[in-house]
Amino acid sequence: MSKTTHTSQTGYCSKECCRIVAIVSLDAKGQMVLPKELREQAGFAAGDKLAVSTWQREGKVVCLTLTRADELAPMLKNQLEPLMKGVFYESNREGK
C-alpha cells in the first residue's frame, strides 16, 4: 500500500516513517485481527504483550503504533540515556 509521513510536535519526519500495510476492522468488542503476513513480519505471536502508542493532532488520535513490550526498556534507555547524561553533566558542572 502507500507510504506516508507524519508530523509530530517537532515537525515533519525527514524520512518515511509510516506505511499503510493493511486495512483492518474492529468488531463489536473493539478487537481487530492483524493479518498473518503482518504478524509474521513483525514477529508477533499469540500471547505477546504489545504496548500501544498514539500520535495525536489537534487533540485527536491519528496514528497507533504497536511495540513489543519487551522492546520498551531498551528503547527508553536509548532515548533517555543521552538526556540523563546531559542533566548529570550540568549538575556536576554547577557543583550541585
Average pLDDT over residues 46-68: 91
Higher pLDDT, 19 or 43: 43
Q: Is the pLDDT higher at 95 or at 56?
A: 56
CB-based contacts of 51: which residues, under 8 Å, 6+ apart? Answer: 66, 67, 68, 69, 72
Nearest to 41 by CA among 23, 78, 68: 68
pLDDT tens-place string over residues 66-90 = 888 888 888 777 778 777 777 776 6
**pLDDT band, very low/low/confident/very high, at 16 (cuts 50, 70, 90):** low
Q: Could you state, in order of their start, the residue ranges of all structural domains in the chain?
A: 3-68
pLDDT at 60: 95
Q: Does domain 3-68 have CATH number 3.20.20.150?
A: no
pTM attached to this predicted model: 0.56
